[in-house]
Amino acid sequence: MKQENGHSGRQLGVLDLAHQYLRAHVQPGDLCIDATCGRGFDTKLLCELAGAEGTVIGFDIQQEAIDSASALLAENGLHAELHLDSHANMEQYAQAGTVSCIVFNFGWLPRGSHEIFTHADSSIAALNASLRLLKKGGSLCLCIYYGGANGFTERDALLEYLAALDSRIYTVLQCSFPNRTGCPPFAVFVTKDSEGN
């Protein structure tokens, strides 16, 4: 039974926020990137939203993730260009100023080893690349998982990087859950408002 706020009574999670954001920002025909395919749920949603006339490019450094995402897409009659490669290399697959939306999940593969996770250096390199790839009006959707084997180093580096983005060019919105215990993941949304200098 749905409650008035539109969800089923379970707690609103970071992926709920991310998927609501994607539904509001991705249009048919868009070029989108899933920088961290994981199990393929974001890749699938991007494919559905961009439609047959759009293009979705996905990356992951684990073959298990690429296989899982590929199977999910095939089950649903969808297609994306999936690459076993670091998200830091995304500029090899798309042109600057052409991408509408780029999705990141920083942390570890869901239901996978928490000993394999993203790292601050490659994540910052990927964010730099993603900002160059975004077209005006394009957006980033980031979900940040932290506090496990990866600790807080990547989270802190990402937040420092995002806080330093030029506010004349980018709008940065952070959505967190301050009343939840432990290390609840949070979302950050970035919109490229202008081309800058």
CATH dotted code for 14-192: 3.40.50.150
Mean pLDDT of the chain: 89
Give 149-159 pLDDT, tens digit per residue: 666 788 899 99
Domain ranges of the chain: 14-192
CA of residue 112 relative to chain centroid, distance: 18
| Cα gap 142→189, rounded to integer Å | 6
Least Cα distance to 142 among 166, 174, 97 occurs for: 174
CB neighbours of residue 95 within 10 Å: 11
**Phi first, then psi: what are they for 98, rounded to 5°?**
-120, -10
Q: Residue 149 has what pLDDT?
A: 67
C-alpha dihedral, 73 to 75 to 77 to 81, nearest 10°: 20
Give 39-72 pLDDT, tens digit per residue: 999 999 999 999 999 999 999 988 999 999 999 9
Whether 70 and 41 have beta carbons less than 8 Å apart is answered as no
pLDDT at residue 170 tops 80? yes
Q: Residue 1 has what pLDDT?
A: 38
| Cα gap 139→124, rounded to integer Å | 16
Q: pLDDT-based confidence at 145, cuts 50/70/90?
A: confident
Q: Residue 111 has what pLDDT?
A: 54
Give the DSSP letter of residue 52.
T
Give 109-125 pLDDT, tens digit per residue: 555 555 556 677 889 99
C-alpha dihedral, 83 to 89 to 93 to 97, nearest 10°: 140
Model-level pTM?
Answer: 0.90
Give 9-46 pLDDT, tens digit per residue: 788 888 899 999 999 999 999 999 999 998 999 999 99
